[in-house]
Amino acid sequence: MTIPFLPLAIVFIPLFFGILIFFVSHEQFKLAFALSASLFGLFLTSLCFKYVTSGYILTSDSFILAPDIVLLFRIDALSLFFALITTFLWVLTVLFSVKYMEGNLKKNYWAFLTLSTVSALGVYLGGNLITLFLFFEFLTLFTYPLVIYAGTDEAQASGGKYLLYLLAGEVFLLFAVVATISFGGGSFSKIGMLSSLSDFRFLRFLLLAYVLGFGIKTALFPLHRWLIGATVAPTPVTGLLHAVAVVNTGIYGLIRVVYHIFGLDLISALGVSNLLLWIASLTIIFGSVAAFRQDDLKKRLAYSTIAHISYTLLGVSVLNANGLVGGLIHLASHALAKLSLFFCAGKIYKETGKTKVSELSGLGYQMPLTLVFFTVASLALIGVPLTLGFLSKWYLWMGPLETQRPLFILVLVISTLLCAFYLLPIVSRAFFRSNGKIKIKKVSWFYLLPIGVTSLSSLFFGVFPTIFLNLTRQIVQFFLGG
Amino acid sequence: MPHLFVLMVVAPFVVAALIPLFSIRFKNLSFLMTALTSLFSFCSVLYLVVIERKNFPLEYHLGGWVPPLGIGLYLDKLGSFFLLLVTFIFLAVVLFSRFFLGEDVEASKRPLYYTLLLLLLAGMLGFILAADLFNMFVFFEVFSISSYALIAASGKLPALRASFKYLLMGTVSMLFMLMGIAMLYSLTGVLHIPLVAKELANIVSSQTTQVILALTLIAFGIEAALFPLHTWLPQAHSLAPSPVSALLSALIIKMGVLGLIKVIYYIFGGCLNELSPVLMIMAVLAIFFGAFFALGENDIKLILAHSSISQIGYMVLGLSLATYFSLVGGLFQLLSHALAKATLFLCVGIVISQTGLRSLKDLSGAGKESPILMIFFGLALASLASLPLTGGFAAKYYLCKGAIEKGAWVIALAILVGSLLSLFYSFKIFSSLFISKPVKKVSFKLSWWAIIPLGCLSVVSFLIGIFPRLGFVLIEPAVGALLRVVR
């Protein structure tokens, strides 16, 4: 079924608002446009839900800019899954920014925030490789001004590192994209674009280029330094990088590569599944250990992202249905929980100026609600029953079990333990170690609403996961045919 | 209008001769005459391209004498692509000169400056249109000599030195070319290019033909500043008055590339034999060394000059890979680089003349107060850095595709890594001018004489980036013309 309107609208209506922000000078208008961009994004994306879950793929008309350079947008279940997460969290990020950026708002904050997220939507909705690539690169470029937002030397240095890593990755990605288009056409309309090729050496090289291209954006070890450096950005931006837009596009790309561009048969034939699993495991263990050793709260969360995003890669590369479902749901649960944690960290920093874990003693008595939400989000990330994290880990464990690879379950167990070790001490320190001051501050709704919604939705979706399960069923059906 | 052809080449020569005469009485007439002449060339090229495009390739025999005896002019779709590019950018630069010439060229020297500009134009048009080897050589000399003089137009000692260095290299290049042409003439007995090609096709490739090829490639390689023959370029481009730098970088070195095209395709029919990998390696080295030089520099004009070396590498790479897509990419690169570099040198001219500063450190944050300049700079640098949806991106895309289709993966990767490097030096310029903390605030004054030409260049460059199809309308027939002469 072709509804050319919807995929275009999801990208271009928010894009229109984003560009409009550059041309208005009044602060209130800028905010209004940014908010309406995100609301439109969320609204239009949810409109697609009904069509997609009943098995349709919505495809737009294509804009032929030149031979090969064709813009095309399409929504299938995988696109929608990612787009829903992004747009939902986008609205909350905008709300959180209102209070957080108060008094520190520079000219183009809203514009770049909007454009970055729109680029991420463009990546998800890209109906061929070139569209995906173009928006992937735009995402890097539009987030750069946000990373160097503080304007300090440290921010500039981190920004330089950010650009260097991501753009270097995109060089490999472009190579792989051009090669794929030359040999297999770039459109996502068929699964297994490269299946006509039989030169396995070249295919492995191509896969390596793809993994480098997308993997740098998911901060695979040892190419993760940019993500840690980028914690100098304001907290909503960090949230954008870790949960809303940036790393998600990387993992989205990897899923497309494995299941769509190469296709299940070709990937199994290449015999690279174990290699991918090892890369993912290494990153998981490294990220968890590094998070455990980190005292800076934001950096601890950043290392935790590195680990958790690779859970998804692990789930994807066991190459069975449970693994894929687990990986996808874990991505959603991680995004919700991690955004909530970052919001809490941001609120703590804004109201007390504290950035280190060791300084947080007794904070639970000053801002009880925040810390309660922090606890809920931590539990969700660890994967305690009744949270979405539990569901995702359940499927993630099933994946390697089915294929008789118990070693990787051990990786998951160790990292879950580590996750508990690096998150729960924060909670216990805040609640059980008093620093004598008990003074409950008045809370702003602009803070509490996004934090509450993100962390409670981990609980809500943990109990009612139907939305996610419906979509993942479609995705599995599409890629694995069963 | 069959005589339009000749008129196009002759008119700038005649006006160039008239300007010194008129300027004795009417000081300000020289600009007007130059502008009108270049407008005339632009319009006649437009006429040829739009109205006569069905009759391509056009041939004109001077005085009705048919080659091999007579002299001919020849225009195919590749030529019309170059004509359009040359006349458009030339017109923009001439208009800009009106605004700019302030300190670089004294008032008393301006008529001379405009005379030389017109000779430059005449030489380029003649070089593009010439159908026989000797005329090609003569016109080549005409624009080379006027460019030596233009570089020295400011009369300052470093500029004179740079100009002299270019003169020396240029003379060597001229000698190589003359030698090559002489050998070709003795081998084939004709000078008319299509006839030479026909004769050559019957001759088995021998050491003589290889030597001829090498000689002419070196000759045009020097003019195109192909690494390692580039040594004259950085000084010459950075010390010339900025409009001249724009012309040198956007057009003159492209004439070197056109020379390479003429030699490789029109004369030797695309058969490079053993020299093909040599040219390819030189091109890849050019891409990397140019970019590294540019990254190491701090002088804003030197960065741009070195970047030209790197960007020329892509065009030559496209020629030497010789597939359909690589040729498209090479010509796309030529087009987008010409537009971007012209814009950049003109903008840099404004920055340097109004602040008196050239080093990026001193210029830190200087552009923060003028959004128009930022847009011009931003668009041109984005194209240079081959960001998505710019002309540079399309160029690199097709080059890469050409390389991959030929199985040259390493070269494809080199192209992309090179574009990453070009992104870094472009970003260096942009961030220090528009992002860094200002050392001192400058508000640039721009008149319409500056905004209109810069605006035209930027708009065209922007449109080609957004809709690469627009570039294709010109480039695809040009590549078709090239592939037709391949044997």
User: For the segment A20-64, what is each residue's pLDDT rounded down to a tens digit?
Assistant: 998 888 888 999 999 999 999 999 999 888 888 888 888 888 888
**Would you state the pLDDT for residue A481?**
76
Least confident of B110-119, B145-154, B329-338, B429-438: B429-438
Collapsing DSSP to helix, strand or coil, A59 comes out as: strand
From the list A66, A172, A178, which residue is nearest B404 (CB)?
Answer: A178
Dist CA B151 CA B145 (whole Å): 10
Rounded to the nearest angstrom, the minimum Cα separation between A71 and chain B is 11
Interface of B with A in 10-69 (CB under 8 A): none
Mean pLDDT of B305-329: 92
Burial A273-298 (b: 16+ CB within 10 A, else e): beebbebbbebbbbbbbbbbebebbb
pLDDT tens digits, residue range A268-314?
Answer: 888 888 889 999 999 999 999 999 898 898 999 999 999 999 999 99
**Would you state the pLDDT for residue B310?**
93
Provide the 10 A C-beta neighbour count for residue A269.
14
Please name the residue that has the structure tokens 């300090």. A152
Kindly tell me if the per-residue pLDDT of B306 is higher than 90: yes
Interface of B with A in 62-121 (CB under 8 A): none
* C-beta separation of B268 from B213 below 8 A: yes
pLDDT above 90 coverage of chain A, percent = 40
From the list B397, B427, B468, which residue is nearest A178 (CB)?
Answer: B397
Q: Using only the alpha carbons of chain A, give its radius of gyration.
A: 21
Collapsing DSSP to helix, strand or coil, A54 comes out as: coil
Kindly tell me if the per-residue pLDDT of B1 is higher than 70: no
Rounded to the nearest angstrom, the minimum Cα separation between A162 and chain B is 13
From the list B387, B397, B417, which residue is nearest A171 (CB)?
Answer: B417
Least confident of A8-12, A243-247, A364-368, A449-453: A364-368
Average pLDDT taken over every residue of chain A: 88
Burial B85-117 (b: 16+ CB within 10 A, else e): bbbbbbbbbbbbbbbbbeebbeeeebbbbbbbb
Put simply, the answer to whether A175 touches B413 (Cβ < 8 Å) is yes
Q: Which residues pair with B59 in a beta bridge?
A: B74
Put simply, the answer to whether B416 touches A174 (Cβ < 8 Å) is yes
- Write phi, then psi, for B128 (nearest 5 degrees): -65, -40
Mean pLDDT of B142-161: 89
* Residue A68 identity (one-letter amino acid): D
Mean pLDDT of B136-140: 93
From the list B388, B417, B472, which residue is nearest A137 (CB)?
Answer: B388
Residue of B nearest to A63 (CA): B467
Largest CA distance in chain A: 70
Kindly tell me if the per-residue pLDDT of B174 is higher than 60: yes
Residues 6+ apart with CB under 8 A from B276: B320, B322
pLDDT above 70 coverage of chain A, percent = 97
In this structure, which long-range contacts are made by residues B49-57, counting pairs with CB atoms below 8 Å and at least 24 apart in sequence? Answer: B49/B80, B49/B83, B49/B84, B53/B77, B53/B80, B56/B80, B56/B477, B56/B481, B57/B481
From the list B387, B398, B416, which residue is nearest A171 (CB)?
Answer: B416
Interface test with A, best of B386, B426, B435, B464 (most A CBs within 10 A): B435
Better-scored residue on pLDDT, A273 or A481: A273
DSSP-derived pairing of the beta strands A70-71 and A74-75: unpaired
Interface test with B, best of A108, A141, A175, A178 (most B CBs within 10 A): A178
Helix (H), strand (E), coil (C) string for A233-296 = CCHHHHHHHHHHCHHHHHHHHHHHHHHHHHCHHHHHHHCCHHHHHHHHHHHHHHHHHHHHHCCE
Rounded to the nearest angstrom, the minimum Cα separation between B462 and chain A is 13
**Would you state the pLDDT for residue B104?**
65
pLDDT tens digits, residue range A312-348?
Answer: 999 998 888 889 999 999 999 999 999 999 999 998 8
From the list B416, B466, B472, which residue is nearest A175 (CB)?
Answer: B416
Kindly tell me if the per-residue pLDDT of B201 is higher than 90: no
| Residues of chain A with a CB closer than 8 angstroms to some CB in chain B | 64-69, 133-134, 137-138, 141, 148, 151, 163-164, 167-168, 171-172, 174-175, 178-179, 181-182, 202, 205
**Would you state the pLDDT for residue B110?**
82
Average pLDDT taken over every residue of chain B: 88
Cβ-Cβ pairs closer than 8 A, A with B, add up to 62
Question: Cβ of B416 under 8 Å from any chain A Cβ?
Answer: yes
Whether the model clears a pTM of 0.80, i.e. scores above it, the answer is yes
Residue of A nearest to B431 (CA): A156
Interface test with B, best of A133, A174, A194, A204 (most B CBs within 10 A): A174
Put simply, the answer to whether A69 touches B397 (Cβ < 8 Å) is yes
Kindly tell me if the per-residue pLDDT of B427 is higher than 50: yes
Chain A residues with CB-CB distance to B324 below 8 A: none
Residue B132 pLDDT grade (very low, low, confident, very high; cuts 50, 70, 90): confident
Mean pLDDT of B31-38: 89
Largest CA distance in chain B: 68
**Would you state the pLDDT for residue B102?**
62
Mean pLDDT of A400-417: 88
**E strands along A155-214, which residues?**
none
Interface test with A, best of B328, B409, B425, B463 (most A CBs within 10 A): B409
Least confident of A396-400, B1-5, B16-20, B238-242: B1-5
Put simply, the answer to whether B401 touches A68 (Cβ < 8 Å) is yes
The closest alpha carbon to B28, from B123, B103, B101, belongs to: B101
**Would you state the pLDDT for residue B369?**
79
Chain A residues with CB-CB distance to B388 below 8 A: 133-134, 137-138
B409, two tokens:
């993966």
Mean pLDDT of B413-437: 89
Put simply, the answer to whether B388 touches A171 (Cβ < 8 Å) is no
Question: Cβ of B463 under 8 Å from any chain A Cβ?
Answer: no
Whole-number Cα distances in Å, A5 to A11, A12, A36, A131, B252: 10, 10, 19, 17, 48
- CA distance between the termini of chain B: 33
pLDDT tens digits, residue range A146-163?
Answer: 998 888 888 888 998 999
Mean pLDDT of B208-234: 90
pLDDT tens digits, residue range A163-196?
Answer: 999 999 999 999 999 999 988 887 887 788 888 8
Dist CA A347 CA A417 (whole Å): 27
Kindly tell me if the per-residue pLDDT of A482 is higher than 70: no
Residue A1 pLDDT grade (very low, low, confident, very high; cuts 50, 70, 90): very low
* C-beta separation of B293 from B422 below 8 A: no
Mean pLDDT of B73-82: 89
Residue of B nearest to A179 (CA): B404
Question: Cβ of B469 under 8 Å from any chain A Cβ?
Answer: yes
Rounded to the nearest angstrom, the minimum Cα separation between A120 and chain B is 15
From the list A138, A178, A181, which residue is nearest B388 (CB)?
Answer: A138
Put simply, the answer to whether B397 touches A64 (Cβ < 8 Å) is no
Dist CA A423 CA B211 (whole Å): 73
Put simply, the answer to whether A174 touches B420 (Cβ < 8 Å) is no
Question: Cβ of B332 under 8 Å from any chain A Cβ?
Answer: no
Planar angle of CA A121, A329, A425, nearest 5 degrees: 105
Residue B276 pLDDT grade (very low, low, confident, very high; cuts 50, 70, 90): confident
The closest alpha carbon to B107, from B21, B28, B25, belongs to: B28
Rounded to the nearest angstrom, the minimum Cα separation between A379 and chain B is 42
* C-beta separation of B94 from B34 below 8 A: yes
Dist CA B375 CA B383 (whole Å): 12
Residues 6+ apart with CB under 8 A from A328: A81, A255, A312, A315, A468, A471, A472, A475
Residue of A nearest to B423 (CA): A167
**Would you state the pLDDT for residue A183?**
87
Chain A residues with CB-CB distance to B467 below 8 A: 65-66
Put simply, the answer to whether A67 touches B394 (Cβ < 8 Å) is no
- Write phi, then psi, for B27 (nearest 5 degrees): -65, -35
Residue A364 C-alpha from the chain's centroid: 29
Collapsing DSSP to helix, strand or coil, B74 comes out as: strand
Kindly tell me if the per-residue pLDDT of B299 is higher than 70: yes
Rounded to the nearest angstrom, the minimum Cα separation between A134 and chain B is 6
Residue B361 pLDDT grade (very low, low, confident, very high; cuts 50, 70, 90): confident
Least confident of B108-112, B188-192, B241-245, B385-389: B108-112
